[in-house]
Chains A and B, each alone.
Chain A
Amino acid sequence: MPLSRQDCVELVRQVEGLLREYDPGSLEPVLESTEHYNDPRRYLVEMLRTIRHLYAERSSGMYGSILDTVNRFVRLEDGSPVRGISVTLSPAEREIYEREEISFAEMPDRSEFLEALERIIADIIHESELPQ
Chain B
Amino acid sequence: MTRNQIHRQLQEAFRRYLGVSTRATQGLVPQSVSAGKLYEAHVLSRVVEHLVDDEGYVLTLAGGTKLQLKSSPGPINRAYPRIELRRSGICVAELWTDVEFMALSYCRRQALTVTKGDYHELDILIVPSGAAGRPQCDAIWLGVECKNTGYEKVLLKEILGIRRELSFVTPPDRQERTQFRYWPRTTVPATPASCLLVYSTDASVAEYAAPGNMFGIDFIHEPM
Give the chain B neighbours of A77 by CB distance below 8 A.
60-62
Contact B38 A123 (CB under 8 A): no
Decide: A73 near B66, CB < 8 A? Known: A90-B71, A102-B29, A108-B25.
no
Assess the B30–A89 pair: CB atoms within 8 A. yes
Tally of B interface residues using CB under 8 Å: 61
Q: Which residues, 75 to 102 on A, are CB-close (under 8 Å) to B?
A: 75-77, 82-90, 93, 96-97, 101-102
| Chain A residues within 8 Å of chain B by Cβ, number | 61
Name the A residues within 8 Å of B51 (CB-CB): 73
The stretch of B8-16, B120-128, B163-171 in contact with A is B8-16
A1-43 vs B, CB cutoff 8 Å, 1 = contact: the mask equals: 1010001001100110011011101000000010100000000
CB proximity of A53 to chain B, nearest CB, Å: 8
- Residues of A contacting B61 with CB < 8 Å? 74-77, 82
Contact B38 A25 (CB under 8 A): no
Q: Is the CB of B66 within 8 A of A90?
A: no
Q: For residue A110, which residues in chain B have a CB less than 8 angstroms away from its CB?
A: 17
Residues of B within 8 A of A96 (CB): 30
Contact in complex: A113, B18 (CB < 8 Å): yes
Is B150 located at the chain interface by the 8 A CB criterion?
yes
- Closest Cβ neighbor of A127 among chain B residues: B1
Binds A, one of B40-48, B99-107, B178-186, B208-216: B40-48
Contact of A56 with B224 in the complex, beta carbons under 8 Å: yes
Residues of chain B within 8 A of A84, CB atoms compared: 66-67
A127 vs B14: C-alpha distance in the bound complex, in angstroms? 21
**Contact yes or no, B49 A72, CB < 8 A:** yes
Which among A58, A73, A103, A126 is the interface contact of B48 at CB below 8 angstroms? A73
Structural contact, B9 and A87, CB atoms closer than 8 A: no
Complex interface: chain B residues within 8 A of A63 (CB):
38, 41
Q: A83-B65, A120-B13, A127-B6 are in contact. Are A62 and B30 (CB under 8 A)?
A: no
The minimal Cβ–Cβ distance linking B82 to chain A, given in whole angstroms, is 11
For the complex formed, measure the closest distance between the CB of A20 and the CB atoms of chain B, giving whole angstroms. 11
Interface status of B148 (Cβ within 8 A of chain A): yes
Contact present for B67 and A70 (CB under 8 Å): yes
Does the CB pair B62–A70 fall under 8 Å? no
Contact sample, A vs B, 22 pairs, CB 8 Å cutoff = A10-B3, A22-B19, A23-B18, A53-B201, A69-B45, A70-B45, A73-B48, A73-B49, A74-B60, A75-B61, A82-B67, A85-B66, A87-B68, A87-B70, A87-B71, A89-B30, A90-B71, A93-B32, A102-B33, A120-B6, A123-B6, A127-B6
Residues of A within 8 A of B (CB): 1, 3, 7, 10-11, 14-15, 18-19, 21-23, 25, 33, 35, 53, 56-59, 62-63, 66, 69-70, 72-77, 82-90, 93, 96-97, 101-104, 106-108, 110, 112-113, 116-117, 119-120, 123-124, 126-127
Instruction: State the 6 A-B residue pairs at the shortest beta-carbon distance, nearest first.
Output: A113-B17, A69-B45, A90-B72, A116-B13, A7-B3, A73-B48
